Amino acid sequence: MSYSIAYVALCLVLMVFALVKNWLKPGVILFTCVVLLFCGGILSPKECLEGFSNKGMITVALLFLVSEGVRRSGMLENLILGLMPKGKTTAKQANARFLPAIAALSAFLNNTPVVVIFAPIIKNWSKKVGLSHTKFLIPLSYATILGGICTLIGTSTNLVVDGLIQDSGHEGMGMFEIGKIGIIICIVGLAYLIFYTHYLLPEKREEVSEGKDLPQGMHLVEVVLRSRFPGIGKSLHEFDFYRHYGASVHSIVRGGTLLTGDWANIPLERHDTLMLITDDKFVSTFRDSSALLISSYDIDRQPLGNKKRWLALLLLIFMVTGATIGELPAVKALVPGFKFDMFFFVCLTTVIMAWTGIFNAKNYSKYMSWDVLVTIACAFAISKGMQNSGLADYVADGIIACADAIGRTRHGPYAMLAILFLITNIFTELITNNAAAALSFPLALAVSEKLGVDPMPFFICICIAASAAFSTPIGYQTNLLVQNIGGYRFTDYVKVGLPLNIIVFIISVFVIPLIWPIK
């Protein structure tokens, strides 16, 4: 093993360890890894910065703004409220009505805003019909993940892999290329969520007192701390919550458990749930806050006017249809050298939404998840470092050797896909989906090049594996969001998510070679 391989391997081990321990935000940890690779002579300054100008990363950034425009239109709330049963129902019947619609929406919108919008609505609705919200919120998160793997823009992971594919000199994925297997996985996964998960999910756990003796005009409002909350890492004694937000903290829930003892001296963490004592003014002031997610209050959102609501819908259709038609050979031949791809149409859509006031263009930066964007940009550099050092080839040789031991001729393709899937999936459950895709991409590329075969089945494999984060709450941001809103424990994700991971694994390993033959 050469110095460069050992050095990069050590950097990656330290990076993964820091991510698992959650010492800093993922973007800072990955940027630290990039700096170490630069200092070690593995990356040039140009290679360190290339990810920040990658089309995939910029597309993800613009899709945050498009998702905000659609959210502000109020269409999503109206859709989900229309699908929810109004009278007596069961968890299975209710999930059967709205989970397919949520998956379909997530195929074209960023997963996180979909969960941010629907989680409070579903929790409030479940109280009104006498059902436990714990039967719905994990399925909500999983449905958005399943829907996201059906299209190129359904999840940032697909766009990251597509950007890496194009950087490596190969033809990128089309809008619905991954949907050839994604739809199969989505249908089977939704059937599992609808018919079986209500047996595995817990009943409603004991919650904080509803505060019946509060002064007139005061309410208990539940909020989840988002990544931009200014008091992260500080205790309530260090961070004056009342001065910042005009509300008193009644209690804190973390990981589904109510903090006890001297909880006011415990440092606050991202995705903690705070029960606040406050008035109606708090809700109207902070309902669109980038620091807090109000998760248990009937919020009057005051959506856009009818003209702008319809314009938002038409622009979304324009973006998706345009990017799909732009892939047709006839359209490509029309203007040689110019791509009517997703990047082109998301740029147009974002500019039109900004100038027509569909989202607040003066505050556009608060709608973007900057840590996600930095993570993606750094992921490109780390992937390049693995290729430059020879680490990707070194690991690829090991994957091929394992396949040879099983028998390359008959079972080799399935064995290689299985190994690559498991490596990627373990990474995504422990760290983040985008980092997992970046670590696995050079392995997929190296394996295909050494075998002299089409790399697309391996690329599709890591797209699916990097998104299939069901067994832990830390693998996917939407899982973390619903954990505290729903009061879930770590074991709830294992019980419900592990069978789903196995289902996705089996379908991927056996179906991918049928759609994209390894030859």
pLDDT tens digit string along 54-67? 888 888 888 888 88
The CA-based dihedral angle spanning residues 137, 142, 147, 152, taken in that order and rounded to the nearest 10 degrees? 120
> Does residue 210 have a pLDDT over 60?
no
Listed by start position, the domains of the chain span 3-53+369-515, 219-294
Lowest-pLDDT range of 128-142, 352-366, 490-504 = 352-366
Q: How far apart are CA 157 and CA 517, in angstroms?
A: 23
Q: Which of the listed CATH numbers 2.30.130.40, 3.30.70.1450, 2.60.40.10, 3.40.50.920 matches domain 219-294?
A: 3.30.70.1450
pLDDT at 184: 96
Q: Say which range, 41-55, 282-296, 389-403, 427-441, has the weakest mean pLDDT.
A: 282-296
Q: What is the pLDDT of residues 316-348, one digit of tens each?
A: 888 888 888 887 777 777 777 777 878 888 899
Mean pLDDT (whole number) for 253-279: 83
18-72 pLDDT per residue, tens: 887 778 778 888 899 999 999 999 999 999 988 888 888 888 888 888 888 887 7
- For residue 458, the tally of other CB atoms under 10 A from its CB is 28
Strand, coil or helix: 224: strand
Q: What is the chain's alpha carbon radius of gyration, rounded to the nearest angstrom?
A: 23
CB under 8 Å to 205, separation ≥6 — which residues? 134, 256, 487
Q: What is the pTM of this model?
A: 0.79
Confidence of residue 214 (pLDDT cuts 50, 70, 90): low
Measure the CA–CA gap between 223 and 312, rounded to whole angstroms: 28
pLDDT, residue 304, reads 63
pLDDT for position 299: 45
**Region 100-127 average pLDDT:** 84
User: For helices 26-39 and 370-389, what crossing angle results, to 10°?
Assistant: 30
Say if residue 465's pLDDT is above 90. yes
For residue 460, pLDDT beyond 80 = yes
Q: What percent of the chain has pLDDT over 70?
A: 92
- Tell me how far apart the alpha carbons of residues 105 and 143 are, in angstroms, rounded to a whole number: 10
How much is the mean pLDDT over the chain? 84
Could you tell me whether strands 257-258 and 292-294 are parallel, antiparallel, or unpaired per DSSP bridges? unpaired
Q: How confident is the model at residue 298 (pLDDT cuts 50, 70, 90)?
A: very low
Instruction: Evaluate if residue 496 carries a pLDDT over 50.
Output: yes
Q: Are 187 and 103 in contact (CB under 8 A)?
A: no
Share of the chain above pLDDT 90, in %: 22
| Tens-place pLDDT, residues 366-395 | 778 788 888 888 988 988 898 888 888 888
pLDDT digits (tens, 9 = 90+) for 149-194: 999 888 888 988 988 898 888 888 888 899 999 999 999 999 999 9
Helix (H, G, I), strand (E, B) or coil at 225: strand
pLDDT at 300: 44
- pLDDT at site 511: 94
